[in-house]
Amino acid sequence: MSKLTRENAILTFPTTEDLRSRIGEAVSLNLPQNIPTIEPLAEVGATPFGIVIHADADQASVVPLAGGLAGTVKLKLQTAAYAGNELYVDSTGNTHGFADAVEENPSGKYLCAVALESGVAGEQIEAILFRPVLAP
């Protein structure tokens, strides 16, 4: 056990598929037989575990949505967003990303970020993270 602590909570996990194209997207933590793996959100409305910040063919670095990051992350947008707006995880079928809670109706989805810059669908923008909260 290390006597030092981390400055940032970034965890590396094996993945169930290649996540290189999913940088900036939310993922879930899967614990089959106590071997944790990271995978894309499997179902609409699933609680997100964290955000992929780096990936290769068989592992990914993830920032948990539980605090512990001293800075910002890049998030992939599903819809246009504006600086200062809250963002929610939008996972519908094969489409994943973040949507602007002001422009969309996030009812039943998880708010977990604040945009620090504006962007359009498909872009990655800088944002701060917070623990996922189910939108009313």
Structure confidence by residue, pLDDT tens digits, 7-54: 899 999 999 889 999 999 999 888 877 788 888 876 666 788 999 999
Chain length of the chain: 136
- Taking the domains of the chain in order of start, what are their residue ranges? 11-64, 73-134
pTM, two decimals, is 0.89
What per-residue confidence (pLDDT) applies to 93? Answer: 57
User: For the segment 80-132, what is each residue's pLDDT rounded down to a tens digit?
Assistant: 999 999 999 877 656 678 999 888 888 888 899 999 999 999 999 999 999 99
Greater pLDDT, 94 or 58: 58
